[in-house]
Every structure is written in C-alpha cells, then in structure tokens.
C-alpha cells in the first residue's frame, strides 16, 4: 500500500550524515522550460530511482493556510485528465515498483523505484501531473480526513511530536519554519479544493521542479527521455525567488514544557538556531557537523560518555545538526534522565559538556575519528540508490549545488579544531535556543527541576 | 513638538479601566463612501477632540515587512499635494492645538485637540490625507532613520521592552500579534517608499476609517461638516474582512529569559492568552477584568498583599487584563523579588495565589469592591475628553460596537463570583502562557531559580 510519509525525521538523519559522497559522474542540466535534471549513474542493478522535487514546502504557504503543501502532496495522487484516478500508482504496482512522497518546509517530492525499462513511462506520468491534476470535491474532502487522521496519529497522539512542534514555534520568532509541516490542525481542518488548486497553480510548474534520476542509465538516455516527456510541459507561471521573513536578533533563551499523562520517561532537548549548509559561511556547517558528531553521536560521544556512562545520570544523550534547509539549520542536544535523576540534573550536565567544548575545544583524536567516521558513513550510505538520489534532490531543492554536495567530504576533511570551537562559541548560544521538557505533569516537572 | 508615540502601554491602561462609561448621547453613522463617524457631545469647554482611526495595524502587515503600519503613521505627516510638507501640523500649532498619532497591532490613529471653531478645518486636512499623501524618497529615507532611532530608544535600549517583545513572539505561535508593533529592527531597516505607498494604497481609504469627534458640538453639525469634507473622498479600494491566522491549540507552557547587564532589579511576568472583548463569550471579558482587579490592582489586591505585605518576598506585584483587541486579549501577572529573594520565590508565591483563586474563587466583599471601583474609575475617566474619544475609537476599530461600550458598566455589575472562578480556571492555564524573566546574567538567573 502507498504510504504518505513526512520524511522529516529521516531526512534529518540523512542530513546529519551529510550529503557526503564520493564523486559519482553526476550530470546536471536544465531543459528550455526551466526544469532541472540530475542524473546519477549507478549500474549495480537494472533498476532506477526517479524523483521529482518541487521547490515548495510548508514555509511557502500563506499564513493561515498551514498544511497546504503537505495536503497537496496527498492530492497529487488523485489523477489527471490523461491518467485519471489511481492509474499512475497502479502502473507502478503492476511492474513491481515502489513509490512514495514527502513534504518538508522547503520542498515536496515524489518518487518511484522501478525496473530501468520503465523510466520513460514514469517520466511521462510525472510530467503529466506537473500541470494536469484534476481535483474535485469528491476526492478533496475525503483526503482531508486522511490528512487529519495522519495528524492525529503522528502529532496529536504523540507527545514527543507535539513538543517538537511547540519548540519549533518558539525557536522561530518570525520565520515560517516555526509552522509545522503537517500544519496546525485548526488550519488543516479548513483547507479546501480552492486552496489546493490555487497552491498547485502557483507552485507546480516545470520551472519550479528538479528531476533526479539515479540508476542503471546514462545521462544521454535520460536527457532524451526527459525532453520527450518533461520537455513538453509549458511553464505556467513565473517563480519568484524564495525570500522568507528572516529571524530578528534572538536575544532571550526560551523553554517549552509539555505535560502529558502518557509520558513515562521524561526527556529534554535543546534546539539552537544555526546556519544551514546553504546559508553558512564556508566551512561553518561542516564544523557544526563534526561538532555534533563529537558531542553526541554514539556511545563514544562526549554527551553519552559523560551523562550515561560516567555520571550515570541519563538513559541516553546525544546531539545532531540538521543543515539541509534553505534558510536555517538547527543544532539539537538531548537527554533523558535515569530514574531518580531529574531533568535539571541532565540539563546541568549537558551545559557542563557544552561549556567545556566552547572553552577548550576538541582533541586532535576526537577530530580525526569524527571526520573519518562521517566520511565513511557517507560512503557506505551511497550504497543505497534512493539515499543517493535524495541527497542530490534535497541539496538542490534547498539552494545547494551539485558541486557543494560533491565537495562535502573534502570540506569535512579540512575542518580544524579551531573552526569547531569557533562554531561552538558562536552557535551554541543560549540566547538563540529553545529548551524543551517532556514531562508527565507540571507538578512532577516542578519536583524534578 | 509633535511626539510620535506608540500608545500601546497607555491604551492597555485605558483598556484595563475598561471602555466603561455612563451613556453620553453618542451618535454613530456611516457616510455613503463607507466612512464611519462617531459623535460624543461634551459641552464643558469650547474645545473638540477630532480623531481618525484606520482599521489597520501591525497585525495586517505582510510577513517580512514588519513595522510598516507604524512607519506609515510617521509618513502621514509628510504632506499632500494640497497641503504640502508641515502645513497641517503648522495649522494645528497656530491655533494652539495639540496633535498626536499612535499605532497598535489593530489600528492606526491620528488626532487633534483644537478650539471648536476649527473642527471643520481639521476634518478637511484629515480628509485630504486619507488618499492624498505624497511620498518622495527625500522624505521617506530620513523618516526611516527617525523610526530606527525610536526603536533604539524604546526597545533596543530597554531590556523590559526587549523581553516583552520576545514574550509576545513566544505567546503567539501563529497569530501576527507575535510581531512587534514597531517592527523587527532587521525588517524596519529594509522598508522603503514603495512598501509604504503600497501599504497606504491598500488600507487608507474612507471605507476603512472611523472618525471620532468628542467635544462641544452636536451630531447635526458634525454630520454636515463630515459630509462636506470626508464625504467627498472616494473609496479607492475594497476592504476585505480582517481574518488573521488563529492560534493553534496551545499545549505547552513557555518561558523566556532575557539577560542584560543593565538590569539592576530582576523581575518576572507571565502572559496568559485570553479572549478579547471582541471575541469573548458574553460576560467573559468582564469577568477577566474584575479578576485582574482583585488579583492585582493596587495595594489591597491579593498579589500585592500576599507577596509584598505579608510574605515580604516582592517589591511589587500585580495583574492586568488587556481586552481591547480584534482577536486575542492578554492576562498579565508580574512581580519583582525583594533583595535576597529569588524569581523562583515570587513565581511560586504567584502560583499559590492563582491556584487559590482557581480553586476557591473570590469573596463577596472583594467582588463588590472591585466592581464599584472599576465602574467609578471609568466614570471619573470620562472627565477626560481625549480618553472618552479613545474608548470609542479603540472599541470600534477592534470590532466592538457603540452599544458594547455603553453596556460595559452594566455587564461589570452582573459579574458573579462563579463567573470569575470559571474564567480563572479556563484562562489562567499554564499551557497557554509564557513566563518572562528579566535578569542581569544567565549565571545569576541560575543562582536565583
């Protein structure tokens, strides 16, 4: 069955690994109608991953219409005049293919993984639905209930997700990244066919899309097929540069406390506002990547060693950096106290670890191990064709270039201990942070703090 | 000298007193071009207060263009083709009049207080600048520096204001009330003539304005003069209903901590999201008004007695309710610890007072005293013609009616102890609150908590 996933968590994890790859022979070109195409040859098996990425996400929604980008992702499966109803999905299923779709703040993507001989067929289907979608109330209304049920399952009934939603809203004082990708429930409920069609007509056009093909193909084949299919779609609207409201100077640390009786294990995390790969100064996002690895990736990381192993304060502890975004990245540290320990205990211990790295930096051994590991992870991850295609797609849809993706391992190699300390000093700044507490009850939270 | 004031604080204080007045013989009519006119006869002196209120404020700005409503307030003094440069202001000064202007999230207002014989002249000037403003870069650019200097003085150099700005940003997860009226500095800096003109043309039109005249006049005179002046201004644009994004369900309490080395006296306050007079269910905003009075107005209030007099924890403590707004009101409680006491001490003491009122309500004596005092204050306040005119203007510009203003004292009289307890239980809910801490340094804050 088709699954509609908000792949935010997955992509964040991919982002942490880095967009790091060796250099496959990637070809990148733009058709006359403005559609970008990226080809990543991978001849290990006779299959192909075909993705289309629209450069529109939740952060591009009109205020008050949150959830529209994700809702439209669902509605893109409702058929066109040429391929009504489920015909596209049935075709994918009939050839034993897989398909999926995902929405983030910055982009909306669709993909199929199919035998290589079916690539052009997939292209024809996708090209058709760039501008050919047909929406009637009969399909829009029931799908809204599907989305509401998804919100229910993923957010409303998940205290962790609810806290993350409220933390994002508190982290961004002005930028639309504070808006949940799935939308605020109260606003999702009011979306209708006109909203969806207006959004579709405004953002779905070949000059706002990137096609990524990874697999057992050559650039020449893909180019010919793309011209025959995608190349025939007329651009229907000009696309303005994506300029979202920026954050004002952040100058007050924040906390958010979510109490839910279902919480058995209290936990805390802190988000620091950080630059994204796209907005960072040269080397800065790579320094944050290595810093996150040293602080909080795995059992040898500083946070885990200090809080879990040595002090026995926490059940787990870690950190990661999410850098794949058009406007801002995020640096996250987190921990859950052991029974008998408080959130205050683990937070104080985290702060001690962070203060140490701000003041004294990292060691040469830590640095060398982290770099090797990050680069090796990225190399191993290339073994997955879908992952490979997603790196390029996510990078290009958030303002990076093919060259930036390919340079990443080299950039990681050149990160210095000084750069890491500088990044820690600049970006692990409490004034631009939100600390979230997940607790069973406010009373318990007070006892625990 | 003309002063450009953001009268938010003053209006909040007026709001706390309530829009409560006995019933002057108020006339309210609408001209064929859509301009509303309110006439409040007041024959005690041969003067008149003339105000025009535009139903546009900071919450109507396009995201990324914060500060525009307030910037345009300034630019409205730059002259028209018919009355270039300072001619309007000079005319007011020449007759010994006063003038001023103010901007909030919901409206922008201009007023003159002049001898009664000059009313029609004032009307002609104001009518002229509804649509006749002339803006050149030569006047726009220097005025932007004036606004930036105002931001510097009122916000950037005032830790209290900066904390309030960050608390509002954290209180509203989605609604544009989270945007500062003066704008985010980074966005003010980029405003230009085109932004101002587009905003002006979109919102400044007789069908989006309310004229309030209080003073030694009759409704008939004012109507005739208004028809001769305002009545000649063509509406230039249709005005859509003001529907801003609403708040999602708020389900996590927040804190904001601002550290500034200039802070000599730490303090804390908590904002609870509340209904406004316009959005409240019948009786609800009046119950919040009485509750705020009992909790936190003056030396006999519960917070002051408990924290300052009895426990000697705080230097001051209080509460107020701001209800004059189109979409949301705010209930604020605050205190400053005595030397040697901590923010945690006073916050715990505030919580004890609030818990008591939620659980046990208020006494019959407290209720009777509060109602009498609120109504008496409102009656006394009518003595000020400008205050009177402002009550009606602010009420109408935020979606209330003349009848709602006039019914207010009766509504206050009917507030019951049950209604107060119900309001406290519903609205003093930590999940929809932000607590702000103003401290000297984060290190000190940690020692103090």
Tally of CB atoms within 10 A around B161: 18
Percent residues over pLDDT 70 in chain B: 94
With an 8 Å Cβ cutoff, are A248 and B63 in contact? no
With CA atoms as reference, the chain B residue closest to A59 would be: B63
pLDDT of residue A378: 86
How near does any CA of chain B get to the CA of A186, in Å?
A: 6
pLDDT of residue B299: 93
pLDDT of residue B446: 67
How near does any CA of chain B get to the CA of A252, in Å?
A: 4
Q: What is the pTM of this model?
A: 0.89
* Known catalytic residue at A359: no
Burial zone of A142 (CB within 10 Å; 0-12 exposed, 13-18 middle, 19+ buried): exposed
Over residues B386-421, the pLDDT tens digits come to: 999 999 999 999 999 999 999 999 999 999 999 999
Using the predicted structure, report yes or no on whether residue A51 has a pLDDT greater than 70: yes
* Burial B63-82, CB ≥16 within 10 A → b, else e: ebbbbbbbbbbbbbbbbbee
Residue of A36, A61, A73, A286 marked active site: A73
- The mean per-residue pLDDT over the stretch B188-205 comes to 98
Residue among A64, A166, A436 whose CB faces B251 most closely: A166
How near does any CA of chain B get to the CA of A405, in Å?
A: 30
Using the predicted structure, report yes or no on whether residue B11 has a pLDDT greater than 50: no
Burial zone of B25 (CB within 10 Å; 0-12 exposed, 13-18 middle, 19+ buried): exposed
Over residues B355-366, the pLDDT tens digits come to: 999 999 999 999
pLDDT of residue A394: 97
pLDDT of residue B23: 67
- The mean per-residue pLDDT over the stretch B138-144 comes to 96
Output the six-digit token pair for A274.
Answer: 């950080």
- The mean per-residue pLDDT over the stretch B197-216 comes to 98
Residues of B in contact with A63 (CB under 8 A): 63, 174, 176, 244-245
- The mean per-residue pLDDT over the stretch A235-247 comes to 95
DSSP code for A7: T
pLDDT of residue B181: 98
As a whole number of angstroms, the distance between CA A72 and CA B23 comes to: 54
pLDDT of residue B383: 84
Residues of B in contact with A256 (CB under 8 A): 252-254
pLDDT of residue B3: 36
How near does any CA of chain A get to the CA of B243, in Å?
A: 9
In the predicted model, what is the mean pLDDT of chain B?
93
* Residues paired with B143 in a beta bridge: none
Chain B residues with a Cβ under 8 Å from any Cβ in chain A: 63-64, 66, 162-163, 166, 169-170, 173-174, 176, 178-179, 184-187, 243-259, 430-431, 436, 442
With CA atoms as reference, the chain B residue closest to A250 would be: B166
Least confident of A442-446, B6-10, B109-113, B430-434: B6-10
Beta-sheet strand order (sheet of A98-103):
A27-30, A36-41, A209-215, A47-54, A108-115, A98-103
pLDDT of residue A447: 57
Residues of B in contact with A249 (CB under 8 A): 185-186
CB A140 within 8 A of CB A188: no
ipTM score for this prediction: 0.84
For chains A and B, CB pairs below 8 A equal 103
Over residues A256-297, the pLDDT tens digits come to: 999 999 999 999 999 999 999 999 999 999 999 999 999 999
- The mean per-residue pLDDT over the stretch B269-275 comes to 98
Place of tokens 């140490």: A356
Residues of A in contact with B244 (CB under 8 A): 63-64
Higher per-residue pLDDT: A18 or B34: B34
Q: Which one, of A101, A384, A400, lies nearest residue A392 by Cα?
A: A400
With an 8 Å Cβ cutoff, are A254 and B255 in contact? yes
With CA atoms as reference, the chain A residue closest to B249 would be: A186
pLDDT of residue B18: 43
Over residues A321-338, the pLDDT tens digits come to: 999 999 999 999 999 999
Q: Work out the pLDDT band at A5, boundaries 50, 70, 90.
A: very low
pLDDT of residue A442: 86
Tally of CB atoms within 10 A around A221: 16
With an 8 Å Cβ cutoff, are B66 and A170 in contact? no
- The mean per-residue pLDDT over the stretch A147-160 comes to 95
Beta-sheet strand order (sheet of A433-439):
A314-322, A329-337, A267-274, A433-439, A253-259, B253-259, B433-439, B267-274, B329-337, B314-322
With an 8 Å Cβ cutoff, are B174 and A184 in contact? yes
Output the six-digit token pair for A46.
Answer: 């006779």
As a whole number of angstroms, the distance between CA A449 and CA A341 comes to: 10
Beta-sheet strand order (sheet of B36-41):
B27-30, B36-41, B209-215, B47-54, B108-115, B98-103
Largest CA distance in chain B: 67
Sign of CA dihedral B349, B355, B360, B366: positive
As a whole number of angstroms, the distance between CA A37 and CA A18 comes to: 22
How near does any CA of chain B get to the CA of A251, in Å?
A: 7
pLDDT of residue B65: 97
Place of tokens 């651009």: A235
pLDDT of residue B2: 34
- The mean per-residue pLDDT over the stretch A96-115 comes to 97
Query: What DSSP letter does each residue of A240-271 carry, written as one string?
Result: ----PPPPPPP-SEEEEEEE-TT-SS-EEEEE
Percent residues over pLDDT 90 in chain B: 91
Q: Work out the pLDDT band at A24, boundaries 50, 70, 90.
A: confident
- The mean per-residue pLDDT over the stretch A43-63 comes to 96
Using the predicted structure, report yes or no on whether residue A14 has a pLDDT greater than 90: no
Q: Work out the pLDDT band at B220, boundaries 50, 70, 90.
A: very high
Over residues B282-320, the pLDDT tens digits come to: 999 999 999 999 999 999 999 999 999 999 999 999 999
């Amino acid at each position: 069955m088709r699954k509609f996933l908000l792949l935010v968590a997955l992509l964040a994890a991919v982002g942490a690994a880095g967009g790091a790859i060796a250099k496959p022979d990637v070809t990148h070109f733009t058709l006359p109608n403005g559609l970008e195409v990226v080809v990543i040859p991978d001849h290990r098996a006779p299959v192909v991953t075909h993705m289309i990425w629209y450069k529109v996400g939740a952060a591009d929604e009109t205020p008050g219409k949150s959830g529209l980008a994700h809702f439209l992702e669902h509605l893109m499966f409702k058929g066109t005049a040429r391929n009504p109803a489920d015909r596209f999905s049935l075709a994918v299923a009939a050839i034993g293919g897989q398909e999926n779709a995902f929405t983030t703040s910055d982009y909306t993507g669709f993909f199929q993984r199919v035998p290589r001989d079916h690539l052009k067929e997939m292209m024809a289907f996708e090209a058709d639905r760039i501008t050919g979608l047909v929406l009637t109330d009969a399909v829009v209304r029931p799908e809204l209930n599907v989305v509401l049920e998804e919100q229910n399952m993923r957010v409303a009934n998940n205290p962790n997700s609810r806290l993350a939603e409220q933390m994002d809203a508190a982290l961004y004082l002005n930028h639309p990244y504070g808006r949940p990708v799935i939308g605020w429930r109260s606003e999702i409920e009011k979306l209708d066919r006109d909203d969806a069609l207006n959004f579709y007509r405004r953002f779905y056009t070949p000059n706002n899309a990137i096609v990524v093909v990874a697999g057992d193909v050559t650039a020449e084949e893909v180019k010919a097929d793309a011209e025959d299919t995608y190349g025939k779609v007329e651009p229907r609207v000009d696309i303005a540069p994506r300029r979202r409201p920026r954050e004002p100077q952040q100058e007050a640390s924040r906390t958010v406390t979510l109490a839910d009786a279902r919480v058995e294990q209290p936990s805390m995390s802190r988000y620091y506002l950080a630059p994204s790969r796209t907005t960072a100064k040269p080397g800065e996002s790579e320094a944050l990547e290595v810093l996150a690895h040293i602080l909080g990736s795995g059992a040898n990381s500083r946070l885990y060693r200090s809080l879990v192993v040595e002090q026995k304060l926490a059940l787990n502890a870690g950190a990661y950096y999410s850098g794949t975004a058009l406007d801002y990245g995020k640096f996250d540290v987190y921990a859950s106290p052991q029974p008998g320990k408080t959130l205050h205990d683990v937070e104080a211990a985290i702060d001690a670890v962070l203060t140490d790295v701000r003041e004294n930096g990292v060691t040469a051994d830590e640095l060398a191990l982290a770099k090797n590991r990050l680069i090796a992870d990225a190399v191993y991850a290339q073994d997955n064709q879908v992952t490979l295609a997603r790196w390029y797609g996510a990078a290009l849809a958030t303002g990076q270039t093919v060259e930036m993706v390919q340079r990443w391992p080299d950039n990681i190699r050149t990160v210095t201990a000084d750069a890491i300390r500088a990044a820690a000093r600049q970006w692990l700044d409490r004034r631009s942070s939100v600390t979230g507490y997940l607790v069973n009850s406010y009373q318990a939270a007070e006892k625990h703090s």
